Amino acid sequence: MPIEERITDFAASRWASVWHALYTRHQYEKIVAQALSGKGFEIFLPQYHTVHRWKDRRKELLLPLFPNYVFIRGGLDRMLNILTTPGVHSLVAWGGRPADIPQEQIDVVRRLVESSLRIEPHPFLKCGDWVRIKSGPLEGIQGILVRKKSAFRLVLSVEMLAKSASVEVDISVVERVRGAEEHRTDTLGIDRGVAFAEPVRPYVP
């Protein structure tokens, strides 16, 4: 097999197992996720429960944890099919290439949304007391500890998207990670500079 074909096959097989992020139009996350799932793509749309109150009623809603973003695994060989899906604005990229999101980061987000703990979006953070959960359903997960009223919350940041989420934690199961600022790689972060979403355009590997 010619070297050019081997390189193409390698790139295709690699992309088939790698997660990327799509930037969507406002409030189109669920529409995009459903449409792409219907086309056979593997999609992950993390959501959280919240209650909205009006004067005369209250309603429980299921909202995107990272507004305007939907995660997609592989499928970049069908780029045109992805980018022409109604509601899709662009593929999050870095340096002209699709920005990879490691499987471990997706797994952490899944653990958060599938747990019974209260999770919600949080203003994006990059620094603070870096801690680790010692036990429980989130054991081993690291993030930034903050205080909200009388409760403590663990903030996890996806730096490539400049988005954060937080989950309420018991302070008794949290320990500080010493020397983390010098050596850490964020559990949900990619320290590669400022993230951006490129305009919709054909992508040629």
Q: What CATH number has the domain bearing residue 89?
A: 3.30.70
Distances (CA, A) of 188 to 25, 36, 100, 133, 184: 23, 24, 12, 15, 11
Average pLDDT over residues 133-143: 88
Residues 162 and 202 in one domain: no
Q: How far apart are CA 64 and CA 44, in angstroms?
A: 11
- SS3 assignment, position 205: coil
Q: Please tell me the number of Cα atoms within 13 Å of 109 on its side-chain side.
A: 27
Residues 198 and 118 in one domain: no
1, 97: one domain: yes
In this structure, the answer to whether residues 88 and 153 fall within a common structural domain is no
- Nearest in space to 76 (alpha carbons), one of 94, 102, 100: 100
Do residues 14 and 90 share a domain? yes
pLDDT for 13 equals 53
Q: What pLDDT, in 10s, does the model give residues 32-83? A: 999 999 999 999 999 998 887 777 788 888 999 999 999 999 999 999 999 9
**Based on the structure, what is the number of domains in the chain?**
2
In angstroms, rounded to a whole number, what is the distance separating the alpha carbons of residues 198 and 205? 15
- For residue range 155-185, list pLDDT tens digits in order: 888 777 888 888 888 888 888 887 654 444 4
- Looking at the structure, tell me whether residues 39 and 111 fall in a common domain: no
Please indicate, yes or no, whether residues 13 and 69 belong to a single structural domain of this protein: yes
CA pair distance 95, 103, nearest whole angstrom: 21
Q: Which of 50, 85, 46 is nearest to 65 (CA)?
A: 46
Alpha-carbon span 47 to 120, nearest angstrom: 9
Write down the pLDDT at residue 32.
98
Residues 107 and 169 grouped into a single domain:
yes
Q: What percent of the chain has pLDDT over 70?
A: 77
Q: In this structure, are 117 and 168 located in the same domain?
A: yes
The CATH number of the domain holding residue 149 is 2.30.30
Percentage of residues of the chain with pLDDT beyond 90: 30
Beta bridge partners of 88: 24
Within 10 A of 127 (CB to CB), how many other CB atoms are there?
8
Instruction: Looking at the structure, tell me whether residues 10 and 67 fall in a common domain.
Output: yes
Whether the CB-CB separation of 98 and 20 falls below 8 Å is answered with: yes
Segments forming the whole domain that contains residue 116: 102-189
> Do 38 and 120 sit in the same domain of this protein?
no
Q: Which residues are CB-neighbours of 56 under 8 A, at least 6 positions away?
A: none
Does residue 136 come out as left (phi exceeding 0), alpha (psi in the -120 to 50 range) or beta? Answer: left
* Mean pLDDT, the chain, whole residue set: 78
Nearest CA among 63, 68, 30, 70 for reference residue 48: 63
